Amino acid sequence: MGSVMRGSQLDRSRQVALQVHEILRERILKVELAPGTILSRASLQLEFGVSQTPVRDALMRLQEEGIVDVYPQYATVVAKIDIDHARQAQFLRLSIELEAVRRLTEAAPAKTAAELGEILARQKAVATPETYDTFDGIDREFHRKLYERSGILQLWANVRRQSVHLDRLRRLNLPMPGKMQMVIADHAAIVEAIGSGKPEAAAAALRRHLSGTLSIIDVISAEFPDYIRA
């Protein structure tokens, strides 16, 4: 999980620092770069084929997001997972998405359920240990659709920025036995409740779904003690 050396292709028509940030951020969220991993600026410059400036700018962005710690004159290190930050992100998502699913049971619920159902079908097809990345990407697509159909898509980017610690916990939770099946069952319950026009059932299914990872934080912490901030 700790290696950063791989030949990454950058689109030279786009801002280089932004792309370096996006790639490193995604690796951190997938725990490919585990908490505690040292990010060598020289190694990153070599990997991406760029100068010091875009690497420095990318690391500064990651520091602002709270997912790397910078120790001057020493190193930049992938930050440990902050449980308090994860709980706040969960609170934010619950506050927004509970209201969203209630609204979706009232405004064109059949269309929303059909669109969510199509995403769910694709997610079911990749519910295997070999396809965690695809499964997780479709999971984000499912929730993004809730924002889109509710007319609050601009909030999605804000939520994504605030969810970095929660997302890493989810990533550690995902390979655990039965987790992917639980996600699919929760998504199916949300789709069914929206399509049936049942706001409280939709909210209950959504609450259960978003509370899953933090409800077993002790299990995750016991399995990955070096990844969690004390």
Tell me: pLDDT of 6 over 50.
no
Q: Does any domain span residue 58?
A: yes
Evaluate whether residue 44 is within a structural domain. Answer: yes
Asked if the model's pLDDT at residue 24 lies above 90, the reply is yes
Does 7 fall in a domain?
no
Mean of per-residue pLDDT scores for the chain:
93
Sign of CA dihedral 76, 78, 83, 84: positive
DSSP 30-94: TTSS-TT-EE-HHHHHHHHT--HHHHHHHHHHHHHTTSEEEETTTEEEEPPB-HHHHHHHHHHHH
Residue 64 lies in a domain: yes
Res 1: pLDDT: 44
pLDDT digits (tens, 9 = 90+) for 194-221: 999 999 999 999 999 999 999 999 999 9
pTM of the model: 0.89
Question: 4 phi and psi, to 5 degrees?
Answer: -110, -5
pLDDT bin (cut points 50, 70, 90) of residue 8 is low
Picking from 52, 78, 104, the residue at the C-terminal end of a domain is 78
Closest CA to 90 of 151, 28, 168, 20: 168
Q: What is the CATH number of the domain that holds 182?
A: 1.20.120.530
Q: Which domain holds residue 207?
A: 83-227
Q: What is the arithmetic mean of pLDDT over 82-109?
A: 97
List, for residues 130-150, the tens digit of each pLDDT value: 999 999 999 999 999 999 999
Q: Do both 57 and 143 map to the same domain?
A: no
68: closest CA among 158, 155, 139, 168? 168
Same domain as 56, residue 106: no
